[in-house]
Structure 1
C-alpha cells in the first residue's frame, strides 16, 4: 500500500521543515501501530508527514516547534486524553465570556482540551496550543486553544471550508512567518 503525498504537498512540507530541524519520521508501521493503540486514523497529510518526512521539528510552526506524534507540552493543563471522542467544537468559543455556571462550564472546557485532538505545539511559552482535530465534524482541521477559549485557524480565502487543514496551516506559516497568526484576526 502506498501513501504518497502529492508532489506539491511534499515540496511544501520538506521546504517548511528543513532537514536539519526534522526528527526522524516514524515509518508507516509505527504510525499504524499508534493509530491502532489510540483507535483513530490520523488525517492526511499529517499522517504521511509523520510517517515519511518528520515526527516533529524544533523549527516552527508553531513558535516552540512541532511536537512529535502524541506528545504533550510540559505545561499541558489538560487531563486524560481520548482521541476517539469527537472534538466538541464546530465554531469559535470564548469561554472567558460565557456566563454559565462553572459547574456546567468546566466539563465542557475539559472536553475541548482532551477530546478528539492532538497537540501540534505551543506558542508564547505555553499560553497558546495548536491542535489537530482527529475526531468529529472538524476532523483534519487546526485549532488554536488558549486559556480563554478556542478558535479554528481560518482556511485560505476562496476555500470551500471554514477552517484550515494541516497543510494550509503550515503553508500560511511558511509564507508569512512574521505575521502568520494574524490570519486569526
Structure 2
C-alpha cells in the first residue's frame, strides 16, 4: 500500500499504526492472506462486504470517528463472557482478522499494550493477549503452515 494512503488513514483517525503492522501493510499489502480467515484490509472494505457478515460491521465500527484513537481501556485481560462490554473494551484497537463465531483478532493501537495482538471471544473466552506484537503473531501462523512438498 502506498505510504501516502497509510499516512492519510493515520491522520484521519488520529493514530499511528504500530511499526510492525505499518511496515507489513506498506511492504506486503492491505489485507493479504493471514491467520484465521485472512487479514482484513486497512482502508477498503472487503469485496464481499455487502454480503451482510458480522465481520464487516466490526470493520466499519473500527472506523467510526475517534474509535481507533480512543484509549485502550483494559489494564488487564478480561476473561469469560463479555456480552455488551466487548464494544467498550475494544476501543483503541483495530480488527486484524475474524476467526468465526464472533471471535476476532485485534491490534492494540495505544497505551501500555500498544502493538500487542489480543483475542476477542465475547461469548466464552473474553479479551486476552495473544501475542506480544504483530510480527510474532503473523510469523507463528506462517511457521505453522504445512510445508510444500519438495522434489
Bigger radius of gyration among the two: 1
Q: Once superposed, what is the RMSD of the aligned Cα atoms?
A: 2.4
Task: Pick from 39, 60, 74 the counterpart of residue 89 of structure 1.
Answer: 74
Contact 2:54-2:102 within 8 A present in 1 as well: no
Larger strand percent: 2
The alignment's TM-score, normalised by the length of structure 1, stands at 0.63
Task: Pick from 140, 143, 146 the counterpart of residue 172 of structure 1.
Answer: 140
Work out the number of aligned pairs and report it: 132
Task: Pick from 122, 128, 141 the counterpart of residue 151 of structure 1.
Answer: 128
Identify the residue that residue 112 of structure 1 maps to in structure 2. 89
- Stretches of structure 2 lacking an aligned partner (at least 5 in a row): 147-151
CA pair 64-88 structure 1, distance change in 2 beyond 3 A: same
For 1:50 and 1:41, locate their aligned partners in 2 and report how far apart those are by CA, in whole Å.
Answer: 13
CA displacement, residues 87-120 of structure 1 (integer Å, 9 cap, x when unaligned): 1123221242x8xxxxxx84x432123x101110
Q: CA deviation at 1:28?
A: 0.6
CA displacement, residues 46-69 of structure 1 (integer Å, 9 cap, x when unaligned): 111112221111x221x2111111
The alignment's TM-score, normalised by the length of structure 2, stands at 0.76
Task: Pick from 88, 98, 113 the counterpart of residue 122 of structure 1.
Answer: 98
Identify the residue that residue 35 of structure 1 maps to in structure 2. 10
Q: Which stretch shifts more, 66-75 or 40-49? A: 66-75
